[in-house]
Structure 1
């Protein structure tokens, strides 16, 4: 649009210049030559857009026109890609959450019966392509199962020897639980990490 307004402005300025020169010059042979020169200049100004097409690189003009037309498309494509990645991330998080819930419910009863423990948290680390994700690592937090019966409170005596034994028994218990969970879920024991909260 700026090219057209510049072109029309040049034509108008040249016509005004020709009119002023014609009024200033007296009637003589010189006026005829001035009219001819101004007429040639006016034709050159009128034909200048056509001449610029032939003098400029036509391919670069087409590329620049295509770029200005494709800019909104690129922006739209970027927005679509960002929405796609957001949806994929939320979908992956949902799948991980559902896997954790299914894995927890799969072993809940046997874990309570054999070890008197319940799972409080399952954290999954998945690896692989978009379509196929494999479990790389599982972090499981278990705690002593809460019994519904109310029992009497026994007297508590604290001894450092007993505390050390409890730490060792907690480590041994977490290893047993890790082997149990790995067997139930069809994983290797080194893929399952168990943390026992509260001990026995």
Structure 2
């Protein structure tokens, strides 16, 4: 009789604990695993008298079930992390492709006028972003690498102004190029910097 009272008491206590655990767990996959584990443990408690007859260790069975449950949770968390990593990699690849296409378009739009008016050719365009967020809102600087365009046209007329130093003329040319590119690309002038190939060599 004492065994039956203990058995019923265990069932009642476990059911109360199961209700509390089910109430506290968030909805989703975790709740499904928890309910499955609780159901299996409840079945084991109901079968406790039979296990006693066959000398089966119920605690060992419960412990094995708990370990299985923990393993499933770890696997689910690892899967979530793997999916997030793959998402990040795909997003980074898409961002890089979009930036490459932007560089190609920006070059093609500017190359004809730069060659004609400034005898310059774009070698490379580099984007610098704030906080590693690669969108136009976080665009900090557009670095444009230029070089002298090769021309084979005959020289008709040359004006030499000995009053203006070469550095001042270069500065005026740079400002004119920055102004042109800013208007063409619809960017603020202070976001565009230009660097001539071989200028620091």
**TM superposition score category, shorter chain reference:** 0.5 to 0.7
What's the CA shift string for 1:51-71, capped at 9, x where partnerless?
Answer: x38xxxx8x987654221122
Judged with a 3 Å threshold, the aligned counterparts in structure 2 of structure 1 residues 87 and 95 are, in CA distance, closer, same or farther, namely same
Distance across 2 between alignment mates of 1:66 and 1:150: 83
Query: 1:118·1:145 contact (CA, 8 Å) conserved in 2?
Result: yes
Q: Partner of 2:140 in structure 1? A: 136
Q: Partner of 2:120 in structure 1? A: 117
Q: Partner of 2:165 in structure 1? A: 165
Q: How does 1:36-55 map to 2 (within 5 A)?
A: 46-47=54-55, 49-50=57-58, 52=59
Q: Partner of 1:145 in structure 2? A: 149
Post-superposition offset of 1:129: 9.7
Judged with a 3 Å threshold, the aligned counterparts in structure 2 of structure 1 residues 107 and 171 are, in CA distance, closer, same or farther, namely same
Q: Partner of 1:92 in structure 2? A: 95
Query: 2:121·2:146 contact (CA, 8 Å) conserved in 1?
Result: yes
Establish whether residue 190 from structure 1 lines up as the match of residue 186 from structure 2: no
Q: Highest CA radius of gyration, 1 or 2? A: 1
Q: Partner of 1:70 in structure 2? A: 73
Distance across 2 between alignment mates of 1:167 and 1:130: 37
Q: How large is the Cα RMSD of the aligned pairs?
A: 3.5
Distance across 1 between alignment mates of 2:132 and 2:148: 37
Distance across 2 between alignment mates of 1:133 and 1:63: 51
Post-superposition offset of 1:132: 5.1
Distance across 1 between alignment mates of 2:134 and 2:125: 22
Establish whether residue 177 from structure 1 lines up as the match of residue 165 from structure 2: no
1:107 aligned to 104, 107, 110, which one?
Answer: 110
Distance across 2 between alignment mates of 1:98 and 1:47: 72
Structure 2: give runs of 5+ residues left out of the alignment.
1-50, 156-161
TM-score by length of 2: 0.56
What's the CA shift string for 1:3-46, capped at 9, x where partnerless?
Answer: xxxxxxxxxxxxxxxxxxxxxxxxxxxxxxxxxxxxxxxx9795
Query: 1:140·1:192 contact (CA, 8 Å) conserved in 2?
Result: yes
Structure 1: give runs of 5+ residues left out of the alignment.
1-42, 152-161
